[in-house]
A and B are shown apart, each in its own frame.
Chain A
Amino acid sequence: MQLVLEKRAERSNTIALVSPLIAIGLTIVTMTILFAILGKNPLLALHAYFIAPLTDSYSLQEIAVKATPLVMIAIGLSLCYLANAWNIGAEGQFLIGAVAGSWIAVKTQGTDAGPWVLPAMLVLAAAGGALYALIPAICKVKFGASEILTSLMLVYVADLFLDYLVRGPWRDPHGFNFPTTAEFDPVATVPLLIEGGRLHLGSIIALLVVAAAAILLGRTIKGFEIRVVGAAPRAARFGGFNSNQLVILTFAVSGALAGIAGIIEVAGPVGHLQPGISPGYGFTAIIVAFLGRLNPLGILIAGLFLALTFIGGEQAQIAMKIPLDVTKVFQGILLFYVLACDSLILYRFKLVLPNRQVARGTH
């Protein structure tokens, strides 16, 4: 008996929807085994990861707060990936966006500048992220450099640049030598939605981004262009679409979204610029984009799910002393299964009987 992968005549929309669920199921099975090996009760661990965070209002808000940057970055990345442009450096664009936006906050510190500060920070963050993303995009278009490598390498550049700023020129003089800027002024802070809660305006912006992306991809010729350049490059050229322009455009948009996510994180939940503002949002967003089928609505759901694993991971660490790195293991396994299950959209498994017996059967 033989198991073969057989190509489907047409892509299966059912599997396209079910495949992330299969992947989540397989990940949970694998995690159960992993918890057992670590000597932790798998049921309790899974409860801590997936159930406990859903039971109190603080954790629920925290999930939305964590999902906000994930969703915003992943929307941008999905545009890149649909157009066959592989932006792996959203983490760097996130940090540069945070730095660019923080510049205004730092410079207007204590000047009572007025309500224009926050919008200006958002605009500058978007511009910073976009320009930073354009470096790998232009290198790809002009010189044929692999955008996967260049965008990834620029993450570390951004990381060290931020480090330099908060240890050097932007360090809070009253900060006991901690590498951080001073706490941002109220006008430079993202307002909370509920007084005393955690939920902030950034979540609303993320929802608007999701809606805009859904309209762009589903209804506009630009969205069609993005999809066709990725799906069939030669046909796209025949259709009159320029894939190089699209690499530039999608990188710029995704860089801008990552940059906005960065400044919202800094001017929102964190409140000042410091190293370690991101627990790897830019990388986790890659998983969110694929788990969400590169579809805006799917990304919204996937973003909430992965935010749950962040919160769950923290709770599991506190309650059961499970290392926080297990969360990253979980996310990695999940991406692996998502990509593996995606082959079922175009292929199906089939059991084949050995035909030797059949052929011999004639005698």
Chain B
Amino acid sequence: MQAHQRMLDPTPNGLHSGESPLLQTLGLTKRYGDFLANDSIDIDIWPKQIHALLGENGAGKSTLVKAIYGLIQPSAGEIRWQGQPIMLSGPSEARSRGIGMVFQHFSLFDNLTVAENVALGLDGKESFKDMSARLEQVSKTYGLPLDPKREVWQLSVGERQRIEIVRALMQDPKFLILDEPTAVLTPQEADQLFIVLERLKAEGRAILYISHKLEEVKRLCDTATILRGGKKVDTCNPRLETAASLARMMVGGEIKEVKAAAGRKTTVPRLVVNDLSLAPGEAHGVRLEHISFELKGGEILGIAGVAGNGQDELFAALSGERLSKDPGTVVIEGIAAGHLSITQRRKLGAAFVPEERLGHGTAPRMKLSENALLTGHAASGMVHHGFIDTAATLKTVDRATETFDVRKAKRDPEAASLSGGNLQKFIVGREILRNPAVLVVSQPTWGVDAGAAAVIRQALLDLATAGAAVLVTSQDLDELAEIADRIAVMFHGHLSAPLATADATREKLGLLMGGSSLEPKEAAHAVGA
């Protein structure tokens, strides 16, 4: 077991008020089968502290906070709360002790009101009326405006997050865990959140802030604990580190820099979208409204925006998973394709990479060679007279493995057995090896480790250099700034006019992501044809 007289984690400015930290883990270990998700992790969290938890996907951040919040039981080690060892039977016990958590994925019922959703998360000892009054009071006190009577499906993602935060605050937690809270916010909304968090800190509460946005962590947090491969690498003061040094600790080495080839030339328009409007396919989906853009060969167009503003619907309309009545709305390589199926669009030279890797981009329980066939059957010589050429599918797997450094246990494993980064490299590789004229890719590096992300971004740049038109949808503004030539923003199914990346400051993009217009004089809804 861990020695108890070990050095306490450094805390800047002697912030700790008592002798023992508010929350402490000692040698916390979580084992899943043979896999050590958390390997003997020590972390000290003091009152009045915003403590960052940094690490790549799979580093063990989620496992650690789930153990602290009582969602999973550690395999070994101990959690201490105000100096006393505790055994949490579940999240409700954690909440009753004063530990709150805001998850990255909200647990809200779309068809219930804000107040009803909050009531469902509380233990229900007070009347609904009292609870609603308290809800309004808490939201007013912390500057988190919410209308308790509105139904959740009408709210923006930022507002939905507010519900989760207010719900957590209504339990008056001493310690609040936030899992990637800014992933779904515009830069301006993130700034507002930081003001709330600073205020909670000033009230003497502790915050554990999970993120991989390093600039944000440097700005907000006084302490940062970095995890890598389930182990704690270091605890440090992020303000004394550079973003690069933090990244090195997270990754455990240098990250290859992504380089765009100089003098990339744009050629003819390869993907043109003309006044595309499409009703949503499912309840509470987003209607696409008069979307138009033109994408030339050699060019990368980025589409920014908060999730759920129509990006998924746009992807489905471009890929042909949803068809448009008017063929002219989507033009691929000069051919009207709005009415064509995804297979026919692939035959025109288009390739697609969806956001969801497992279940959409690949069949999880099928082999990689079969998943190569999934998108390659139309136009890659893998099928002769209805019969599958197994050698050709395996060759695609081998080529993707070699070109994009896909790491796997055997030659042709099931898709689900690959790590997120390696599977994404395979999927991107599978499409790029088809030499597409147009590549539409959604969230190319979402949940992918930094090394794989660099490989994928470089591949997209190289593809554009080779003359393809590339459309990248991403919530990561840094990623778009790195690879895109122009950036447009989606909001409520509308697509803004693209900005040249050099002009696309975070402020401008943030305004567009929040639905404001850059030129207020122009009519907000230009009436299309």
Contacts and interface: CB of A to CB of B under 8 A. Distances in A.
A221 interface: yes
A219 interface: yes
B267 interface: no
Q: Which 3 A-B pairs have the closest CB atoms?
A: A240-B343, A232-B363, A239-B374
Nearest to B370: A224
Contacts of B85: 359, 362-363
A6 B33 CA distance: 8
Contacts of B2: 362
Interface residues of A, number: 28
A321 interface: no
Contact of B78 (A231, A238, A362): A362
Interface in B369-428: 370-371, 373-375, 377-378, 383, 386-388, 413-414, 416-417
24 contacts: A6-B32, A9-B416, A220-B387, A221-B383, A224-B377, A231-B365, A231-B366, A234-B356, A234-B360, A235-B361, A235-B362, A237-B342, A238-B321, A238-B342, A238-B375, A239-B374, A240-B320, A240-B341, A350-B33, A355-B75, A356-B87, A359-B74, A359-B77, A361-B1
B173 interface: no
A237 B321 contact: yes
A26 interface: no
A236 interface: yes
A227 B363 CA distance: 10
B139 interface: no
B310 interface: no
A363 B4 CA distance: 10
B26 interface: yes
B2 to A, nearest CB: 8
Contacts of B413: 10
A70 B363 CA distance: 31
Nearest to B87: A359
B386 A220 contact: yes
Given A9-B417, A359-B87, A235 B374 contact: yes
Given A219-B387, A224-B373, A359-B87, 14 more contacts: A9-B417, A10-B417, A220-B387, A221-B373, A228-B366, A235-B363, A235-B374, A238-B360, A355-B76, A358-B76, A359-B85, A361-B1, A362-B27, A362-B85
A47 interface: no
Contacts of B74: 355, 359
Contacts of A363: 85
Nearest to B322: A237
Nearest to A353: B75
B87 to A, nearest CB: 6
Contacts of A9: 416-417
A10 B373 contact: no
B414 A10 contact: yes
B414 A228 contact: no
A10 B410 CA distance: 12
Nearest to B2: A362
Contact of B377 (A10, A219, A239, A359): A239
B359 interface: yes
Interface string A1-34: 0000010011100000000000000000000000
A235 B388 CA distance: 18
A236 B416 contact: no
Contacts of A358: 75-76
B346 interface: yes
Interface of A: 6, 9-11, 219-222, 224, 227-228, 231-232, 234-240, 350, 355-356, 358-359, 361-363
Nearest to B414: A10
B362 A222 contact: no
Contact of B363 (A220, A222, A231): A231
Nearest to A233: B359
Contacts of A235: 359-363, 371, 374
Interface in B243-273: none
Contact of A224 (B319, B320, B388): B388
A221 B374 contact: no
Contacts of B321: 237-238
Contacts of A356: 87
A234 B375 CA distance: 13
B444 to A, nearest CB: 16
A9 B375 CA distance: 24
A227 B373 CA distance: 12
A238 B354 contact: yes
Contact of B388 (A219, A234, A355): A219
B98 interface: no
Contacts of B366: 227-228, 231-232
B405 to A, nearest CB: 21
Interface string B54-83: 000000000000000000011111100000
A10 B388 contact: no
Nearest to A242: B341
B90 interface: no
B305 to A, nearest CB: 22
Most buried by B among A6, A9, A220, A232: A232
A224 B378 CA distance: 13
B352 interface: yes
B285 interface: no
B515 interface: no
A28 B413 CA distance: 36
Contacts of A350: 33
A346 to B, nearest CB: 8
A173 B375 CA distance: 62
A232 B415 CA distance: 12
